[in-house]
Amino acid sequence: MNKLNNFFFKFFGYFLLLIFLAALDLAVVKALPTPFNNLNLSITVLVFVLFIFGPRQALLAALGLGLISDFYYFPSVGINTASLFIALVLTNFLLVNVLTDKSLYSLLALTTAAYFIFYIGLYLFNFVITSLSGTEFDIIFNQYFFTSKLYGWLFCLITAAIIFYCLNYIDKRYKPFFLVKKNR
């Protein structure tokens, strides 16, 4: 009974946390003035979860966040869930095989990879869906498109660095950005 209670509270806690994150992303970040509204909070947090807690927790969180995003996305065909999933799987591959060092450099590189993979996936899925449904692919690749994505990337990196330093303040296991030179 106790185990069941624990599981229920844990599940409920995760659920509330995901709703809080999705609400922040949908209602707060999107309402911020340009260019701050280009921040992708979901990707930043998910990469951080992957970095600290591992792929299982990150994929579970991605599933929940993707699902909530798709509820508020038109047309809802699960493209946010699928894009987040692909982005995290590929980022995890990089974490396991290439960027194994748990430093700020790795976190920033992983955030960069996840951010661009997510958007490539999202636009590709969107293109496929519009092609299949016979509607027009109305995304304009103008200067605004590229600058907004660059700003989004920049803000994701800044947010990731802030979260990393907050964690570093609490737990010293993660390597800081600048290595301290001793006995020189």
Gap between the Cα atoms of 36 and 58, Å rounded? 25
Q: Does 134 bind another protein (CB under 8 A)?
A: no
How many residues bind another protein (CB under 8 A)? The answer is 48
Gap between the Cα atoms of 133 and 128, Å rounded? 9
Residues near 67 by beta carbon (within 8 Å), at least 6 away in sequence: 81
User: Which region, left, alpha or beta, applies to residue 75 given φ > 0 means left and ψ of -120 to 50 means alpha?
Assistant: beta
Of the pair 23, 166, the CB lying nearest another protein is at: 23
Q: Does 124 bind another protein (CB under 8 A)?
A: no
3 state DSSP class of 103: strand
Q: Does 71 bind another protein (CB under 8 A)?
A: yes
Among 52, 89, 124, 167, indicate the residue that binds another protein (CB under 8 A).
89
Q: Does 10 bind another protein (CB under 8 A)?
A: no
Q: Does 135 bind another protein (CB under 8 A)?
A: no
Q: Does 100 bind another protein (CB under 8 A)?
A: no
Task: Determine whether 174 is exposed, middle or buried from the number of CB atoms within 10 Å of its CB (0-12, 13-18, 19+).
Answer: middle
Of the pair 52, 67, the CB lying nearest another protein is at: 67
- Which of these segments, 2-10, 104-112, 137-145, 172-180, binds another protein (CB under 8 A)? 137-145
Per-residue HEC secondary structure of 127-184 comes to HHHHHHHCCCCCCCCCHHHHHHHHHHHHHHHHHHHHHHHHHHHHCCCCECCCCCCCCC
Between 22 and 51, how does the x/- string for binding to another protein read (CB under 8 A)?
xxx-xxx-xxxxxx-x--------------
Gap between the Cα atoms of 147 and 161, Å rounded? 21
Give the residues lining the site for another protein (CB under 8 A).
Answer: 19, 22-24, 26-28, 30-35, 37, 54-56, 59-60, 63, 66-68, 70-72, 74-78, 81-82, 85, 89, 92-93, 96, 122-123, 126, 138-140, 142, 144-145, 148
